[in-house]
A and B are shown apart, each in its own frame.
Chain A
């Protein structure tokens, strides 16, 4: 079955450094989305990248997509304490509306 997997499971860096998280999936997709979840809260949509796109930027976020390797990366530049959260990638199978989430990367930004 299709499954997204994030890597690493946990990441701890100093404020101001860049954070990179990776996501792999198994089947063909229409698009891939990244979400952020603060502890005990709902999910906030960060960015959507379509299968025909290779790179997308939004503020301090940069997402890449490699459909040949079935992988994506999320880069957060100049990290801030407020970026501390869990980050999930979610994919949709072609022809299906449901999202398949990975286990998430728990990012901690140390002041």
Chain B
């Protein structure tokens, strides 16, 4: 049973470009979460999704950030018009219900 798969592992973008981060949850998991980690800090919650629904987006910046978890395919975290402050590691987690969240290896975004 493969774990949570995130791609790409590393992503480099120039200011103003778009970043698309993908996450495939563990088999049988219908809950997906996105977190952001700045250097030397803990993870900060961004958004919680179930299939085709955003359940909690209280941690998402109001502008430029969006997330989806379509009926088919991976969850996508999309950052439009990236700025240097968006540079961070973005982690996806999945769970079966309201229990243990299993994390992917993360996508490290660097904005030049």
Q: Do A and B bind each other?
A: yes
Which residues on A are within 8 Å of B, measured CB to CB? 4, 30, 33, 35, 41-45, 48, 88, 90, 92, 96-104
Across the interface, A45 reaches (CB within 8 A) one of B43, B102, B104, namely B102
Q: Which of B11-19, B61-69, B77-85, B93-101 contacts A (4 or more CB under 8 A)?
A: B93-101
Interface size band for B = 20 to 34
Across the interface, A42 reaches (CB within 8 A) one of B48, B56, B95, B104, namely B104
State the Cβ distance, B21 to closest chain A Cβ, in Å: 14
User: Within 8 Å of chain A (Cβ to Cβ): is B112?
Assistant: no
Given A41-B105, A42-B105, A100-B45, A48-B100 contact (CB < 8 Å): yes
User: Within 8 Å of chain A (Cβ to Cβ): is B22?
Assistant: no
Residues of B within 8 A of A92 (CB): 98
Q: Are A103 and B103 in contact (CB under 8 A)?
A: no
Q: Are B42 and A97 in contact (CB under 8 A)?
A: no
Q: Are B56 and A98 in contact (CB under 8 A)?
A: yes
Q: Are A97 and B56 in contact (CB under 8 A)?
A: yes
Q: Which residue of A lies closest to B3 (CB)?
A: A42
Residues of B within 8 A of A96 (CB): 56
Q: Are A102 and B42 in contact (CB under 8 A)?
A: yes
Residues of A within 8 A of B101 (CB): 33, 45, 99
Q: Are B45 and A42 in contact (CB under 8 A)?
A: no
State the Cβ distance, B35 to closest chain A Cβ, in Å: 8
Listed A/B pairs (22) with beta-carbon separation below 8 Å: A41-B105, A42-B91, A42-B103, A42-B104, A43-B91, A43-B103, A44-B103, A45-B101, A45-B102, A48-B99, A48-B100, A96-B56, A97-B33, A97-B55, A97-B98, A99-B33, A99-B35, A100-B45, A101-B35, A101-B44, A102-B42, A103-B42
